[in-house]
Amino acid sequence: MYIDESGDTGVLNSPTRYFVLSAIVVHEDKWLGVLDDLIVFRKFLKSRYNLRMKDEIHAAEWLNKKPKIKATIQKHDRLDILKKCLKWLDQRNDISIYSVRCDKSLNLSRDIFEYTWRVFIQRFENTLSYNNFPGGNATDKGIIVPDDTHGQKLTRLLREMRRYNFIPNQQSAYGGGARNMRLRAVIEDPIMRDSASSYFHQMVDVVAFFTRMAYEPNRYIRKKGARTFYKFLEHVVNHHITRYTTIKGVKEI
């Protein structure tokens, strides 16, 4: 599972209301095929927009400031590239996408980072356990591959959840209380990657950005009618993540 974030975890003087984590999940049997196709897609972007293979796609940077790419690509073309990234993902039948969106204004007393990541990891664990990712089976295990930020804090959290992971019980089924539901399907420590050298992370960066833009679009996104770009993922978002949600494939907390 490749993960990136959009927004920040601050609750005081923060420029964002929401903190979003998004994931692209791919089975190991399908990984090489997805990578090969992703390289072909990048070659298409190179021929169409002169975007070099080593240039990093970074949605927020591309639309908010001058991107760190060699070619001169106009802002409207950069937005078009991002839209094509979403449409490329949506045509796949070998990946799954989901997100968790934390409304920081409703969780001022919480550690936003820990709370959002805990829910995010638990959704990964549950979906693996119930065999609700494409191409998987009930014995599959999952590895978390995030962008290289907050590595030590995330590693501590994941190790804790393997030993102590108390989940509140449903009152009607268990009479309240909580059970220690230790992680079993999510294995290993998080494997940190630099997004500049990972095509998978650059694609999930686009997913996370437009997930947050569906809730709090900036001026340019509103002007270009791009607030609804998340809908381009309607065929590939995982509907098993949560039953009750405003936007499909997004767990809202």
Task: Determine the pLDDT at residue 167.
Answer: 86
Task: Determine the pLDDT at residue 109.
Answer: 95
Burial degree of 4 (CB within 10 A; 0-12, 13-18, 19+): buried
A 10 A CB-CB count for 95 gives 23
pTM value is 0.93
Q: Quick one: the chain helix, strand, coil %, rounded to 5? A: 45, 15, 40
| Helix 112-129 vs helix 151-161: crossing angle, to nearest 10 | 50
Q: What is the DSSP track for 16-85? A: -SEEEEEEEEE-TTTHHHHHHHHHHHHHHHHHHH---TTSPP-HHHHHHS--S-SS---HHHHHHHHHHH
Task: Determine the pLDDT at residue 244.
Answer: 60
Q: Which amino acid is at 96?
A: S
* pLDDT, block means (10 residues), the chain with 253 residues: 97 95 96 98 97 96 88 94 98 96 97 97 94 83 92 95 88 70 96 96 98 97 97 93 76 94
Question: For residues 66 and 80, what is the distance between their CA atoms, to the nearest angstrom?
Answer: 16
Q: Would you state the structure tokens that stand for residue 102, as one six-digit string?
A: 């934390």
Question: For residues 98 and 59, what is the distance between their CA atoms, to the nearest angstrom?
Answer: 18
SS3 category, 116: helix
Task: Determine the pLDDT at residue 81.
Answer: 98
Task: Determine the pLDDT at residue 233.
Answer: 97
SS3 category, 244: coil
SS3 category, 201: helix
